[in-house]
Structure 1
Amino acid sequence: MTNSANNPKSARLLALESLEKVLTSGAYSNLQLNQVIEQNNLADNDRRLLTNLVYGVIQHRLTLEFWLESFIKGKKIDDWVKILLMMALYQYHYLDKVPEWAITDESIKLAKIKGHEGIRKFVTAILHRMLREDLRSFNKIDSEITRISIEYSVPEWLIEELSHQYGDHQMMRIVESLNHPANQSLRINTKLADKEEITRQLFEDDLEFRDSRVAANALVLERGVIANTHAFKNGEITIQDESAMLAVENMHLEKSFKVLDACAAPGGKTVQIAAMLDAAAGGKVTALDIHQNKIKLIKNNAKRLGVEDVVEAIDLDARKVDNQFDDESFDAILVDAPCSGFGLIRRKPEIRYEKELSDSYNLQKVQLEILEAVAPKIKKNGIITYSTCTILKQENDDVINMFLANHSEFILERTHTSLDLKAKRESKTLTILPSDFDSDGFFVSSLRRTM
């Protein structure tokens, strides 16, 4: 397949249609991209271009809108035309290896396919102006917060909150990292394979990868497609972010443990737990989720990875565990709580525009309710591991402190990981920022029941 816009399945046309669905209809970028890639037989270079355009335009949306306004000067245009022009701006400015003439030509062809002659002429005129005129300078923006917001395409409220929580220097490191491409990492399923065998297989499949700096049984992909490998199809590896593996690393499980995964779907951490358990020794992980269709995902994931014998998946709201389980039923509990997801911005870039600070505080209430509900279900001396994929303290340390204030039978223990990350930190909890290791942002804490 070529990139020609005359082809209805071209990468640029698919990108334009995908961006319309994400930016105007609320589709999730990662799900939308996965669907488009599955439905279209794209060559590797087209798949990479499609992914780059969709994520790139969303990531830099505020910047692109700022630049575009000087060219259209308030003129009302159709959403798809605006997105097409933002795509062109993104390619002109951020894709050094794509010739400007090719970007211009393909954009005009898309305007012709999607619109009438008047729109084609309008788009052509704007594109030529973009090439002739300088882009608006960020330095002319008076407010420092607004300048950072536009330059890095991060909402002002989030910049202010990160500055308040982490200081200006750390805030800048975080926002600068948010538009980096998200790494794709894999976890080795130690139930079926070891690292030496997997690295040999991946070399044979012509993949390029490196050891993770974050998680012990992880590799970071640098070239290739994990899902096409025999190891993936055989369940010997699975796609999982490095930071997301840390919560289970911290649980220090024994083969005979009864484990509750209170907020489990789609099951990545469930199967990571399951790989450490042994059915013959009595080990089992009970995975909960409120959606029946996601229970099926958990079961399918467990079957693919060969751990279904120790996985029980139940559709149940974690806040209602009292209806299902006796007190002190579990040796270990994982609460990977529903959260604002700000640690995943590189993977789901639209999150930054969709959420407000109030969403974080509303989620805090749910997170506390889940911890309150599962607390009686952990055995004495057992540990509840509380984790989130956000970096906002009101959903992390604040939740832990509020829980401990009401539960003298629990103490906070230091979070430990296999590679002893951030060993010199003062906090017992562990917060991984996107700027720390170029991974997703994540939070992990350990609550031990003492009585």
Structure 2
Amino acid sequence: MRNIKKTPRWLAMITLDRVIGQAAYSNLQLNNTIAHHQLSEVDKRLLTKIVYGTLQHKLTLDYRLAPFLNNKQLANWVHVLLLEAVYQLDYLERVPDFAVVNETVEIAKVHGNPGIRKLVTAVLHNYLRHPRRSLDEIKDPLLRLSVKRSVPRWLVGQLASDYGLAKTETILDSINEPAHLSLRVNQVKGNAAQAVDQLANDGVKVHRSPLAPAGLVVDSGNVIKSSAFNDGLVTIQDESAQLAVDSMNLSADFKVLDACAAPGGKTVQIAEQLDRGKVIALDLHANKVRLVQQNAARLGVSDRVTALALDARKVDECFADEQFDAILVDAPCSGIGLLRKKPEIRYDKTADDSQHLHQIQLAILDAVATKVKKGGIITYSTCTLLKTENELTVREFLSSHPQFAELTTQTTKCIKDGRDARSLTILPSDYGTDGFFIATIKRLS
């Protein structure tokens, strides 16, 4: 008889309990769960689908479940168990209802007690006997969209204010689509053609990115186990994130500051272009500085990288003015552009968080402003969609620093070159990538 504690549904319940109840990161928690259990590829796929699917549709699932719970206060794991069961019943067409119900009831029995087993049994049987709750009951259009796309109402409202309701619906339609894995070719160790061939020999099929000049998109295969990854020929990095450094127009002898560097993806991307130059990488936490160093070592650019534990708001403590030819501020942000890969972010953030981050971003820009040479560029980037942390941050910085001006952000592949704005915003709905923002700020005097 199969051990219930080793099934994908049990492991999904344990994983989701930690993500929803203890604010664990879904990707890290899921990877940890898979690493510590011997699962078939089929079971890994089912586990992954349940975890991400439940998180992506949580508000919808809660809305549909509510009439059957009668305001009962449930332990978090019981709530999670019911959510994942309803997700399977409503979204996984190939999974038989009886299999979902039987195994969910068994998990409730083993992990809980007879009372919990009876409750779970009753809720699921009632759920299957009734039609799904209609969204037409919700009169507020923003709340209806919030429940439909499982995004908190404040965030729907903010996106609607920033982009309009029609564009917001398009964005929200896209964020629950499966995320693809993308790579960047390490120019120090080879070129794209060599990487494609080596990955193919390792059983990994890829195609060239339409956005990033050194980008590859994975079609199939296990990148982490490939020699191309382990030898440092490729590294994992989203296509849109690669555009920040692509837009910097670096020269080989530049001295560059990466002010918010960890885990170092953009640091090593900068270093690859600095044949005779140097990149100074800062991060607030010493353990994250070690990640930057490890990344630099794997990609063979350690000699071009100096990583320091330092709050970017305190650069005056270590650096004189006008030391750097270019500065990258890949700022702390709400991460709303990452909803496809980290669906739990939407439930953890608030409008107040975004305002607080806006102030931190301004403080970092203010601190590094004097460190770039006259004529040098500060590249400001985030992985959020919220204009409070993007355009508004840049606008406020410029209003208090008249010696700077914003230039039009340009990329090698001329992404969105016909746009009206000087900054570059990549929405998840544009190319199926992470959402990303880049602004190019030049010091005039």
Tell me, yes or no, whether TM beats 0.5: yes
SS at match of 2:87: helix
Match of 1:376 among 352, 370, 373: 370
1:395 match: secondary structure: coil
Cross-structure match for 1:270: 267
Residues 187 and 83 from structure 1, CA distance in 2 versus in 1: closer, same or farther, beyond 3 angstroms? Answer: same
Cα deviation, residue 70, structure 1: 1.7
Shifted more, 4-13 versus 165-174: the winner is: 4-13
- After TM superposition, list the pairs within 5 Å mapping 1:75-224 onto structure 2: 75-224=72-221
For residue 140 of structure 1, report the CA deviation from its aligned partner.
2.1
The reply to whether residue 261 of structure 1 matches residue 258 of structure 2 is yes
| Residues 1:399 and 2:393 are matched in the alignment | yes
Give, in whole Å, the separation in 2 of the partners of 1:78 and 1:406: 50
Is residue 57–residue 90 contact of structure 1 (8 Å, CA) maintained in 2?
A: yes
Indicate if the aligned counterparts of 1:413 and 1:447 stay in contact, CA closer than 8 A. yes
Secondary structure in 1 aligned to 2:224? helix
- What residue number does 2:359 align with? 365
CA deviation after TM superposition for structure 1 residue 7, in Å: 4.1
- Superposed, 1:304-383 pairs within 5 Å as 304-383=298-377
What is the letter of the counterpart of residue 191 of structure 1? V
Q: Distance in 2 between matches of 1:373 and 1:41?
A: 49
1:394 partner SS: coil
8 Å Cα contact 1:262/1:288 also seen in 2 = yes
Cα pair 2:11 2:47 within 8 Å, conserved: yes
- Please point out which of 61, 65, 68 is paired with 1:71: 68
Comparing 289-298 and 42-51, the one that deviates more: 42-51
For the Cα contact (< 8 Å) 2:381–2:438, is it kept in 1?
Answer: yes
Q: What's the counterpart of residue 222 of structure 2? A: 225
Moved more, 108-117 or 160-169: 108-117
Q: CA deviation at 1:208?
A: 3.1
| AA partner of residue 146 (structure 1) | L
Superposed, 1:17-36 pairs within 5 Å as 17-36=14-33
Query: Is 2:235 the counterpart of 1:241?
Result: no
Which residue of 38, 42, 52 corresponds with 2:39? 42
Match of 1:294 among 276, 285, 288: 288
Distance in 1 (alpha carbons) for counterparts of 2:301 and 2:26 = 30
- Residue-pair matches, total: 445
**What amino acid is aligned across from residue 217 of structure 2 in structure 1?**
V
Partners of 2:331 and 2:380 within 8 A in 1: yes
The answer to whether the 8 A contact 2:4-2:107 is kept is no
Q: 2: distance between equivalents of 1:396 and 1:11?
A: 40
CA–CA separation in structure 2 for the residues paired with 1:46 and 1:19: 16
Q: Is the contact made by 1:263 and 1:336 (CA closer than 8 Å) also made in structure 2?
A: yes
CA displacement at 1:221 relative to structure 2: 1.6
How far has the Cα of 1:169 moved from its partner? 0.9
Distance 1:15 1:344 in 2: 21
CA offsets, 1:92-130, max 9 Å, x none? 111122222222222122122212223223222322222
Q: Retained in 2: the 8 A contact 1:5–1:106?
A: no
Matched to 1:178, the amino acid is I
1:43: Cα distance to partner?
2.3
| Structure 1 letter corresponding to 2:427 | L
Cα distance between partner residues in 2 of 1:356 and 1:5:
43
Displacement, 1:5?
Answer: 6.5
Q: Specify whether residues 5 and 394 from structure 1 end up closer, same or farther in structure 2 by C-alpha distance, changes over 3 A only.
A: farther
Whether the 8 Å CA contact 1:216–1:419 is kept in 2: the answer is yes
Q: Is the 8 A contact 1:329 1:378 kept in 2?
A: yes
Output the TM-score relative to the length of structure 1. 0.96
Aligned counterparts of 1:127 and 1:102: Cα–Cα separation in 2: 12
Gaps (5+ residues) in structure 1? none
Checking the alignment, whether the CA contact within 8 Å between 1:88 and 1:104 is kept in structure 2 is yes
Task: For residue 169 of structure 1, give the secondary structure of its aligned residue in structure 2.
Answer: helix
Determine the C-alpha separation between the residues in 2 that align with 1:38 and 1:300: 21
**How far apart, CA to CA, are the structure 2 residues paired with 1:82 and 1:154?**
19
3-state SS, counterpart of residue 49 of structure 1: helix
What is residue 57 of structure 2 aligned with on the other side? 60
